[in-house]
Structure formats: C-alpha cells, structure tokens
Amino acid sequence: MSTFTKRILPLALGVALVGGLIAGVAGTSFAQGDSTALSASHSESVADLTADAETDRIAAEALAAAKPVPCPARTTAKMCTLYRAALTASTAGKYKWDSIGCYRQDRLPYHPEGRACDLVYGTIGRRAAGDNLSDGTAMKNWLVKNHTKYKIDHIIWRGVIYSPNGNWKGHPQPNCNSGKITECHYDHVHVAVVR
Ligand SMILES: [Zn+2]
C-alpha cells in the first residue's frame, strides 16, 4: 500500500462513513419524523373518530333517556300525536288541563275507538270558572287553530261544537239549553280526531 493510499483510503472511508451516517441519520430522521407524523395524525384521527363515536353514544343515550311522552291508554296514533302537541303547547302557555280521560265506553264511537280525550278544567261535575274557564277556552282556541294539522274531527266546549259543520266557528250542541255541566262540556274540553 502506497503512502497515498494509506492516507487517502481512511479519508475516503471516513467521508463515506460520515456521509453514510449523515444520509442514514437524515434518512432515519426523515423516516422517523414522517412515520411519527403519520402515526401522530393517524392516532389523532382515531382519537377524533373515537370522540365522535363517544359524542354519538352520549347523544343517543340522552335521546333514549328523554323518552317520548307516553300515549294515553288505548288511544290512536293520531290522538296521541295531538295529545303530545296539546300537552307541550298548554304547558308552555300555562293552560294545561287538571285531569284527562280518553279511552272509555260510550254510546258515541269516539271514546271507545280511542280517538277522543276529555281535558278537564277544575273538577268534573263543576262548571269551570275563573282560571279554569280562561284556561279551557285557551285550550279550545289552540285546538281550533290547529284542527287541520292534527286531523281533528270536532271539539266541544261550553255547549258549542267546533267542526267542519259550521266551518270551525262553533255551533250549539243539541239539548244543551239547560246547561248540564258534564254532558254539555262546561267542565271539560272534548276533542276527537278523525279515524
Ligand atoms: Zn268526550
């Protein structure tokens, strides 16, 4: 080996080694950085997806917890839809009934078919007065206003029937001149929906 070679070879090896190291480090560094970045962004998106799934799960649970208001027993789907809307509106407007009766036997088809409810203002058998009277009238007005939306067949309040017969403006309930309290609806608003 010449002196030249003795001198140059280690230098060349050294350069190659250093270059290789640099390249290696750079490559490693790039690869590592890249894969770290990839895995970071990957784990981040997985975390986001997990967070979204968690949010969805919580929302679904909240929805399930906020169960729809149960239908009054043995009422039709249309009656229940009306009932829920009337409950919401009258609760917000502070004119909600004091008690309610829907399905029952009757000589007329509405209650036995589950498509009528009686919304009592005050006590059954006692003529509604004061707040009970104004609340019952507010309920009747809301029902008349929303008769199309909730497929209402007719409403009766205080001896007056509101129906397509009379264009929802109200016509006298037959045989109510003497003002029989319950029969003539002075203590409750009667509402029926179509079949
Ligand atoms: Zn009734």
Mean pLDDT per 10-residue interval, the chain, length 195 residues: 48 43 40 43 60 80 82 98 98 98 97 98 98 98 98 98 96 90 98 98
What pLDDT does 1 receive? 47
The gap from C-alpha 33 to its chain's centroid, in whole angstroms, comes to 48
Q: Using CA atoms, how far apart are residues 151 and 79, in angstroms rounded to an integer?
A: 9
Number of helices and strands in the chain (H, E): 3, 6
For residue 150, how far is its CA from the centre of ligand 1 (angstroms)?
A: 17
For residue 63, how far is its CA from the centre of ligand 1 (angstroms)?
A: 33
What pLDDT does 7 receive? 53
What pLDDT does 15 receive? 43
CA dihedral 126, 132, 133, 135 (to 10 degrees): -150
For residue 104, how far is its CA from the centre of ligand 1 (angstroms)?
A: 9
CA dihedral 36, 41, 44, 48 (to 10 degrees): -170
For residue 27, how far is its CA from the centre of ligand 1 (angstroms)?
A: 85
What pLDDT does 108 receive? 96
What pLDDT does 38 receive? 43
Q: Using CA atoms, how far apart are residues 188 and 186, in angstroms rounded to an integer?
A: 6
For residue 183, how far is its CA from the centre of ligand 1 (angstroms)?
A: 9
Sign of CA dihedral 122, 125, 129, 133: positive
For residue 67, how far is its CA from the centre of ligand 1 (angstroms)?
A: 27
For residue 120, how far is its CA from the centre of ligand 1 (angstroms)?
A: 10
